[in-house]
Structure 1
Amino acid sequence: MKLSAFSAFLQKTFALWVVFFAVLALGFPEAFVWLKSYIAIMLGIIMFGMGMTMTPADFKSVAQQPKAVLIGVLAQFIIMPALAYILCQLLRLPTEIAIGVILVGCCPGGTASNVITYMAKGNTALSIACTSVSTLLAPILTPFIFYLLASQWIEINATSMLVSILQVVLIPIFLGLVTRALFKQKVERSIQMMPIISVVAIVLIVAAIIAASKAAIFQSGLLVLAVVILHNALGYLLGFCAAHCFKLNYADCKAVAIEVGMQNSGLGVALATVHFAASPLTALPSAIFSLWHNISGPALASYWAAKAEKPTKHE
């Protein structure tokens, strides 16, 4: 099997691998729990790969459709944090879980959203532009919004969180951009490896947190899963509605919906691991979000892709 074909296979079956290793981690936690110490490094590798795959065309699309990108980014940093806060208040979630839900809600869009948008026959260029911009804004907006919403539950050092996001997100992306600029030909050959590395890293991050949170999952797992499903589904719905209200076309609406509904939950896990190490339950919403949105995303994409193909069948 060619590398490109293997990469495509892994991306298409991403959700299955996440579920498989999550179940494996529950059954044999000792095999994965040691990976928890390397979560920030694995996320940094994912972000480095993202930087290597960025091209001037990604930033051109921001200039070409600034209204759509602005709507996507604003929806990302308004809808998901607001939903997280409302769900925590309505459901009266325990403190550790509430902090974790708000933390994942304040994270930027996930890189998997670009693949899901492509599968859904949405505007992939818009999705990439929104992910890039929201990720670059994350060092400022994620700690700031998280401080505003979660400081009633726990004392938060927003400056320390900003430094963490710079270390695991912005600096690796910058190094990836520089690497591509300096070693363009060599990088072009190795870029097709990056989706494989990203899939493996995300699967291992989820497995590490599931393994470390085994007791918490059996105690609060169903509650967290219910909150995550609500958060994710409402994110898709309100993201689509926001784009539709501003009269974006259908392909753009799909891209914004997916961008809003899918979070960089790996960042949520890394931040929870570093800043709330004394409360392991705080990382659980991010881990379960990573597990769930890699199931719901492909399912939604399949529905939209099938819907897009229907008119051609009648022709």
Structure 2
Amino acid sequence: MNDNSGVVRDAADTAKIDKDSRIAVLLFPALILLGGLCGMLLPQTFVGFAGWISPLLMVIMFCMGLTLTLPDFALVVKNPLPVLGGVVAQFVVMPSMGWLVAKVLHLDPALAAGLILVGCAPGGTASNVVSYLARGNVALSVAMTSVSTLIAPALTPLLALWLAGQYMPVDAGSMAVSVVQIVLIPVVLGLVLRMLLNRLVLKVTGILPWISVIAITFVVTIIVAGSAQAILTAGLLVLLAVILHNGLGLMLGYGIGVLMRVPEDARRTMAIEVGMQNSGLAGGLAKQYFTPEAALPAAVFSVWHNLSGAMIAAYWRRKKI
């Protein structure tokens, strides 16, 4: 009797968490747009919060760590090909497409470096829920996001040095340390806390998506405030670059899934994982290591990839696999 009631309660809790996550992600684009408008219209109000970007990103990564469990990594061992293939695709497709789009559109050095840095970032934190809404393979999504995040301290600075370094100087060593501090340490701490205090963490899991949404909205607001003048002069060009970058990632991610002959749900997940980036991290790094203008592509990407993710999820959700 007690066992059954516990199962029912756990199922109800899981359903509520899923509902909260879906609402948070679907409202995410609207909140990001609102934050961007606030940064654009009231730059002096938010530009002084530039020092908050890294701590806010650490909060987001810590929340991500709290949602992970060791079984989430089991797929890497049981069926490594889709996970590793997807992660390789992410760190090949998005950096190279960022470089290509920057070349084709003749972006100035700061914007080009910023766009490439978006491509060098790990998977986006909202991709797991978008994959769920699109009837994708959620286990694969979680595994890809987790693996790409954990290896980002090595790959993000090296890829940025190779590709973005053609436009602006890149201190890869210092950037690697920053990624470890902003990404790796908070994620690992969250994962360990989840292991040690699982029941307590489960009680607050429902609010974690909202904490992440609010934090990334504030990050975008701060970045836009620092780039308000650049938006007036290059906003449409950056939007075009971001749409192309994200679209190429989605299409090539799906195409690679087709070439790998994985099932349809895994193809959808690979498209979403490759196309959606941790643009908040990219914006923070761009602002720290490049210029405020270089953070602009990341701010625009934060808005666009959540809009495109919501649209593609709505489309795929109506199409049975």
Q: Same fold (TM over 0.5)?
A: yes
Question: CA–CA distance in 1 between the matches of 2:148 and 2:301?
Answer: 18
Partner residue in 2 for 1:192: 206
Give the number of aligned pairs.
306
Q: List gaps (5 residues or longer) in structure 1.
A: 310-315
- Read off the aligned partner of 2:236 and give its amino acid letter: L
Secondary structure in structure 1 of the residue aligned to 2:166: coil
Partner residue in 2 for 1:214: 228
Correspondence for 2:311 among 286, 299, 313: 299
Identity fraction in percent: 45
More displaced stretch, 251-260 vs 10-19 = 10-19
Secondary structure in structure 1 of the residue aligned to 2:298: helix
Secondary structure in structure 2 of the residue aligned to 1:32: helix
Partner residue in 1 for 2:298: 286
Question: How far 1:182 sits from its partner (Å)?
Answer: 2.4
**Alignment RMSD:** 1.5
Alignment of 1:38 onto 2:38? no
Correspondence for 1:75 among 86, 89, 94: 89
Question: How far 1:290 sits from its partner (Å)?
Answer: 0.5
More displaced stretch, 119-128 vs 204-213 = 204-213
Correspondence for 1:144 among 158, 162, 172: 158
Partner residue in 2 for 1:312: none
Partner residue in 1 for 2:170: 156
Question: CA–CA distance in 1 between the matches of 2:169 and 2:37?
Answer: 34
Partner residue in 1 for 2:260: 246
Correspondence for 2:241 among 224, 227, 235: 227
Partner residue in 1 for 2:99: 85
Partner residue in 2 for 1:24: 38
Secondary structure in structure 2 of the residue aligned to 1:307: coil
Contact 1:73 1:133 in 2 (8 A): yes
- Read off the aligned partner of 2:142 and give its amino acid letter: I
- Read off the aligned partner of 1:127 and give its amino acid letter: S
Q: List gaps (5 residues or longer) in structure 2.
A: 1-12
Q: TM-score, normalised by structure 1?
A: 0.93
Question: CA–CA distance in 2 between the matches of 1:126 and 1:8?
Answer: 18
Deviations 1:253-311 (A, max 9, x none): 000000000000011011112112xx2100001111001101110001101111228xx
Partner residue in 2 for 1:127: 141
From the superposition, tell whether residues 182 and 13 of structure 1 become closer, same or farther in structure 2 (CA, over 3 Å).
same
Moved over 3 A (4+): 2-8
Contact 2:123 2:149 in 1 (8 A): yes
More displaced stretch, 14-23 vs 193-202 = 14-23
Partner residue in 2 for 1:268: 282
Contact 1:110 1:262 in 2 (8 A): yes
Q: How does 1:99-118 map to 2 (within 5 A)?
A: 99-118=113-132
Partner residue in 1 for 2:3: none
Question: How far 1:208 sits from its partner (Å)?
Answer: 1.1
Q: TM-score, normalised by structure 2?
A: 0.92
Partner residue in 2 for 1:166: 180
From the superposition, tell whether residues 63 and 24 of structure 1 become closer, same or farther in structure 2 (CA, over 3 Å).
same
- Read off the aligned partner of 2:304 and give its amino acid letter: W
Partner residue in 1 for 2:70: 56
Deviations 1:199-221 (A, max 9, x none): 10111111111122111100111
Contact 2:20 2:206 in 1 (8 A): no
Question: How far 1:6 sits from its partner (Å)?
Answer: 5.2
Contact 2:113 2:165 in 1 (8 A): no
Question: CA–CA distance in 2 between the matches of 1:6 and 1:81?
Answer: 32
More displaced stretch, 113-122 vs 83-92 = 83-92
